[in-house]
Structure 1
């Protein structure tokens, strides 16, 4: 981390924020002074977590305090290089009469800690609560005050956790960290692409692999589509991990330029393992997954597909196509259907290219199984 940096980490209750930060402090504490300020748990509870994570011998200073002025005094006295505030909503300042967690208290406490960090103090990590809508609780200015905003995401039924950067003054945004929750805490997933790919004994219809970019990291993700005859007046369009309005656009392009109509079908599209895809590079994979489900015909084994689709039916190139191809080749994909403009001069070993310029060409390539 950069000196004088302030990081805001948000996530649902129980997702593992405190576990991750305690593990991080234990590692940093081997070489630098660290301070963990807990306002939600007692020292005994934190010590119990440390024993469970096998961190009982870690050099981490612990302070159970919610009064801002007392926290600032300890930071100035101890001069740690990394401080975790868990959480910013529990702090209160003597200068305000409002209750802890109120808008004014959160704003003022965050501003005071930010000033302390920027004036030569430690790197500061503020833990923030998340609302039912999935946004950070408190005033919106909180996100503008800090240098980096991280979201800790995960499904309660899954052992995997994702950390996504949505703001970073010192680097790329939309970076993604993938971790697995174990009995002894969070562990890095060395091959996250395997997490986002289902394993089918036999090829199934409605499934298409793509390679998406999360910040600087290429990830192979499986797109699944299910089409079923609609029994309602208005067919349903539902997406999980993808933008729903984008699906409506792609269905219109598919009908207009490839002659494939889904007007009487309910259409459901899902990105496997709860990953969210925000870039348009998955457009072509979504279309082929839809056609595959509609025809009840699997894509040929070993195919991977990426490309942006325009309203005129053109297949546009995507950024860093060669890195996507290398990731696909590393995972054993044999054929890549990609935009013609993304064809590299030197193709990665073990993968064959099918290049297209139009949506109808991509659909025809699927029908031919070439």
Structure 2
């Protein structure tokens, strides 16, 4: 059983998740704002908590706790509502049928296919009826690679484009039970799509939405160039960049199928495995170095070097979502170890989940996010129980 008293943040995380789920299934058609309701519940909780402290009683304490969880759920509802771009007055969807041109920035590295590039643009302005207006929204664009005699350059993160044409709403699944790619894009705040020919767009310059991400992706491309220079065999190069940097575009279909047949496709995704191995290797090395000094100083040095290492690795992989999840989790674990906080790992995972969902509540709908936390929770919960069943007398 989970010791709830040692993991107080677990209740908070579950309540926040409940609020997000409530919005996704019940609240998307609600035109009003949930923020005032959430603020009111938070205020009511604070008043009830103060009253319960002045007059301690089990009933008052329990009521304050339940009201606090309800307030957290309301905050989760309000957070995902406020994060949803389609609710904004300047969203692209209000202008889409009449758009003549739009200015947008490339928001991610392109997916390279046999005949096309695919990427996401974030719109800053649209021209409607000859007038430019500020706008927001995401557009999933595809462009042909071989439409002209000269090869079409791949889109790069941070490029600002001027695009002609009217984006269309993404289409839902054509068959029952088919993967709903439209919903997947909507969870990434992308509601429109467009096939852009080479004569329909022009690169105006560089204007990255995040300077940090732009620099990190540039660093990842430099490392990719190092792999390409020294690893001459295409299969080994493809696997190396997939395992270290998370680049999977160059892996051939036969290799992907081989990994899928053995159930090891997850190895090719950069995630907590690589981050954990890096930190474990650092701990192993530092344990064999006579650093001297007080125990606290040694722990703080290990923590500082560990945080620098894992965040540097996250930076060099382009700050991908899977690496960021693992890095945030390990950051909290490392800080707890440095201060010798014997906190429940469930509490640490709950804090990581709350932080990530506050940043982007739609991460809850990401399969990678779900599997990352489910895998760690399953290991933490099941390992002691399975360990009691096994009596291994000879590990060799």
Scaled by the length of structure 1, the TM-score of the pair is: 0.30
Scaled by the length of structure 2, the TM-score of the pair is: 0.28
